[in-house]
Amino acid sequence: MMDLPESGPNTEDEPSSHKSSMPEHLQAALSTDWDPAPPMPHPARPDFTPHAARRRAAVSEQFPGTLVVVPAGSSKARANDTDYPFRAASSFTWLTGETIADAVLVMTPSGDGHHSTLYVAEHAQPGELEYFMDYKHSPVWVGNVPSGANTSAVLGIEVRPLPALADDLAAYRDDQCALLRGFDNRVDKLLAKGSGEMLGRALDELRLVKDEWEVARLWHACEATARGFADVVRELPAVVGRDDLRGERWLEGTFWRRARLEGNEVGYTSVVASGPHATTPHWWRNNGVVHRGALLLADMGVETDELYTADVTRTLPVDGAWTPAQLKVYRAVQEAQAAGIAEVKAGNAFVAAHKAAMYVIADHLHSWGILPVTADVACADDEEQPGAGLHRRYTLHGTSHMLGIDVHDCALARMEQYRTGTLTVGHVLTVEPGLYFQTNDRAVPQELRGIGVRIEDDVLVTDGEPVNLSAMLPRDPDDVIAWMRDAQHTPAIP
């Protein structure tokens, strides 16, 4: 990381220790003799434009005569004067196709609908001192950005400079409006009476059903994720048995490289859990050694440039062979997942996949002598019934969540539209049962303690059978071994 320029234009968010004056002769020297900045075409896919327009029209129908404001959000400080990589608010990108910081979508009432305007920051141009010195926004420091005209042409929306936002919203300052709060403090202050609860819920409920463009992006995310898993498997021999190496970190970084090559980022913090770490569903430290004979539970997903993410988990024997105990647990989870996927059909309850998967797991636990009650008792709808829910000691989490532009998509949707609702064509959800036997659980046979298995796929609801978008990664235990062997004998393809 380079240090900041010795001096330059003062900005409100620049630490006072970095503010200093500059002689006029130096300002002149730095500001002259520049050719026009190289053009930067907007990176958005042009086929996105009609889908975004249709989405904005749907929002307009729900908020007639009401100002609607959706910010992208601002960069967040990581430490001192360094920021985290920026990731735009999901609903903002869903409505616009834009992904840059500080941008704001404003939908003003117009006739029977709304007129949409996108406000974006304009960076300094050659001939201005800031072109050379503004380390937060200058093309010299952070790269050039598309022009407003190019952004407007690609995204199919009017674009105005961000400094005009305050004046353009002044007439609505005291009005009730629909504002997605909590993403940009400057916008929140401009519209003190803006309410975000209804808008956030409406946007998430609209986002529940994916159109064909979104499904294609999710499929691409799954394909890239499969290549990332193959990269990880290819690296296993280099880390297995290395007590001097945090092998989980190496494998995490291997997948991250694929995510950055084929997409924007990873869609969430990867879980790369070896041995007993696999019994922790949200193991995020990824700092363990990969021991011989262990299982590796990897929960990872590539996020596309348009911010759609895969969410896939595979559990793999790091030596390329299952032990009897590992295979016993794996086959139970595989059977449970298959039962869950079979329930992902239009008209079924969202929870149907979870109920089917949990019944299979509870039945296995009972047959192994671990669960003292039958699956009928453990999975009873009446949670007050003695013995109901006892399997949760070993399954820990639900089986499904919606997936899309967020890994846990549409979380603001009402319960009756989501978790207690009914599946419909266009929903995409995960099916991810797991079994986790803690090392210190005296209720579990010794040979099973420390084993954690989860299998997760991304499944599309259609008007027929469910479509597994991540089926290119094998799940059958014999197929897993064959795939691992093939991957380790196939060169990586960038």
Euclidean distance between CA atoms 450 and 439, whole angstroms: 5
Nearest to 430 by CA among 398, 474, 452: 398
Picking from 154, 175, 207, the residue at the C-terminal end of a domain is 207
Give pLDDT, residue 8.
Answer: 42
| Secondary structure (3-state) at 190 | helix
Domains of the chain: total: 2
Picking from 190, 207, 224, the residue at the C-terminal end of a domain is 207
Q: Is 26 exposed, middle or buried (0-12, 13-18, 19+ CB in 10 A)?
A: exposed
Place of tokens 């071994």: 481
Picking from 177, 207, 237, the residue at the C-terminal end of a domain is 207
Residues 322 and 380 reside in one and the same domain? yes
Helical axes 477-488 vs 324-341, angle rounded to 10°? 110
Residues 260 and 306 reside in one and the same domain? yes
**Domain membership flag for residue 26:** yes
Nearest to 360 by CA among 347, 345, 378, 344: 378
Give pLDDT, residue 187.
Answer: 95
CB-based contact 75:83 (threshold 8 Å): yes
Euclidean distance between CA atoms 326 and 322, whole angstroms: 6
Euclidean distance between CA atoms 372 and 145, whole angstroms: 63
β-pairing, 194-195 vs 158-161, is unpaired
Give pLDDT, residue 20.
Answer: 56
What does each of the 494 residues of the chain score in pLDDT, given as a tens digit?
A: 545 454 443 344 444 444 457 899 998 898 889 898 888 999 998 899 999 999 999 999 999 999 999 999 999 999 988 899 999 999 999 999 999 999 999 999 999 999 999 999 988 888 888 888 888 788 888 888 899 999 999 999 999 999 999 999 999 988 889 999 999 999 999 998 777 789 999 999 999 999 999 999 999 999 999 999 999 999 999 999 999 999 999 999 999 999 999 999 999 999 999 999 999 999 999 999 999 999 999 999 999 999 999 999 999 999 999 999 999 999 999 999 999 999 999 999 999 999 999 999 999 999 999 999 999 999 999 989 999 999 999 999 999 999 999 999 999 999 999 999 999 999 999 999 999 999 999 999 999 999 999 999 999 999 999 999 999 999 999 999 999 999 999 998 88
**Domain range for 385:** 212-488
Give pLDDT, residue 125.
Answer: 87
Give pLDDT, residue 163.
Answer: 95
**Domain membership flag for residue 346:** yes
CB-based contact 103:71 (threshold 8 Å): yes
Q: What is the chain's length?
A: 494
Residues 95 and 219 reside in one and the same domain? no
**Domain membership flag for residue 7:** no
Q: Residue 277 belongs to a domain with what CATH number? A: 3.90.230.10
Q: Is 64 exposed, middle or buried (0-12, 13-18, 19+ CB in 10 A)?
A: exposed
Place of tokens 């803690």: 438
**Domain membership flag for residue 337:** yes
Residues 86 and 172 reside in one and the same domain? yes
Residues 113 and 137 reside in one and the same domain? yes
DSSP E strands in 421-466: the ranges are: 428-431, 434-436, 452-454, 457-460
**Domain membership flag for residue 9:** no
**Domain membership flag for residue 10:** no
Residues 405 and 262 reside in one and the same domain? yes
Across the chain, how many H-helices and E-strands are there? 16, 18
Residues 202 and 251 reside in one and the same domain? no
Residues 171 and 218 reside in one and the same domain? no
Residues 282 and 154 reside in one and the same domain? no
**Domain membership flag for residue 422:** yes
**Domain membership flag for residue 5:** no
Q: Residue 162 belongs to a domain with what CATH number? A: 3.40.350.10
Place of tokens 């954690």: 452
Residues 249 and 392 reside in one and the same domain? yes
φ, ψ (nearest 5 deg) of residue 37: -65, 145
- Partners of 452 in beta bridges: 436
Residues 228 and 202 reside in one and the same domain? no
Give pLDDT, residue 95.
Answer: 98
| Secondary structure (3-state) at 117 | strand
Residues 244 and 178 reside in one and the same domain? no
